[in-house]
Structure 1
């Protein structure tokens, strides 16, 4: 789906095979950590659990390794390189969230890139809006769904997973090329 300013998203429903098994493995085997971030004059808890698999680290489920390889092969002509890292976020319930942001640390701040997100667990809404204001787009990410943000999306659009009144656990795995955060 084209957005504006050279940004686009691809959405593929029920893309990940064995989503139930992947979810259970991620819950049990990922070394989850709680993190804190500086917000103005104080440290606050990040409202989700995190872990990142760096270049060369084995992913916790072979389906995720296959997924990263398939995404790398499919998007290589446009991206020009493979997906190398896998960031994991565990949204334990509706209170866990991520605020509006773009992945603009590293190369994403100056060049077109891609971030591929696989979602397992309870459905949650991912919102996108043009940086600087404009109408937002809401995409519900279901169990096994894939969303790829590409082109200028990280620089010209922001995305968020807002808090909701009721939600079960959801885990997202974000595949990124080298030096995109």
Structure 2
């Protein structure tokens, strides 16, 4: 396994992107293809994946993906309270690399497992109070590539990324105040994908 430290070209190969009312960091080759594949297989087998129930529009529904919550803090959203499992060595290694890019410390990670193209993430903002007023969220993709879309709440401008295995997308600044984001479902055949979203619970 390579050492993703501050001086690794993979840790600094991306760039900060200024968008209206927000800030993004994009590194399509943050982790090498070989290491990303290794991480994907170990995390697929090693995390306690669950299909959780959340409250939407006054009723309880199963989320269209599997999740695991790890780290040091309890997290609540949409009527769901998640208690953390311990960090794994792989999650800590990736966390350290993300922290060196973002210049902040993350204390938790929400892992999402998209089993196929019908698993998705609906439009939402990561703006819960415990994330703070301007949260920095680092999203690492492993496995199958998926389309990721951001939409400005006022202007409806859209920004899209193809999140391939090993890529890193960071949402920072006022992004969560002014933009929503989603991983749309698709009719195309898709293999499983893991998305690690590192965050700080205040």
TM-score band by shorter chain is 0.7 to 0.9
- In the alignment, the residues of structure 2 paired with residue 107 and residue 42 of structure 1 have an alpha-carbon distance, to the nearest angstrom, of 24
Q: CA RMSD in A?
A: 1.7
SS of the aligned residue for 2:26 comes to strand
TM-score normalised by structure 1 residue count: 0.88
Say if 1:25 and 1:60, in contact at 8 Å, map to a contact too: no
1:106 aligns with 2:129: yes
Say if 1:126 and 1:139, in contact at 8 Å, map to a contact too: yes
Alignment match, 1:38: 55
Q: 1:157 aligns with which of 179, 182, 185?
A: 179
Residues 58 and 140 of structure 1, relative CA distance in 2, 3 Å threshold: same
- In the alignment, the residues of structure 2 paired with residue 59 and residue 25 of structure 1 have an alpha-carbon distance, to the nearest angstrom, of 13
Alignment match, 1:134: 156
Say if 2:66 and 2:113, in contact at 8 Å, map to a contact too: yes
- In the alignment, the residues of structure 2 paired with residue 132 and residue 33 of structure 1 have an alpha-carbon distance, to the nearest angstrom, of 35
Say if 1:119 and 1:173, in contact at 8 Å, map to a contact too: yes
1:89 aligns with 2:104: no
Q: 2:87 aligns with which of 40, 48, 59?
A: 59
Structure 2 spans left out of the alignment, 5+ residues: 1-16, 74-84
- In the alignment, the residues of structure 1 paired with residue 194 and residue 155 of structure 2 have an alpha-carbon distance, to the nearest angstrom, of 28
Say if 1:130 and 1:136, in contact at 8 Å, map to a contact too: yes
Alignment match, 2:98: 71
TM-score normalised by structure 2 residue count: 0.79
1:2 aligns with 2:25: no
Please give the per-residue CA displacement for 1:34-92, whole angstroms capped at 9, x wherever unaligned.
Answer: 11122224321100001110218543343x3122112223322xxxx411101100000
SS of the aligned residue for 1:43 comes to strand
Q: 1:14 aligns with which of 26, 29, 52?
A: 29
Say if 2:127 and 2:133, in contact at 8 Å, map to a contact too: no
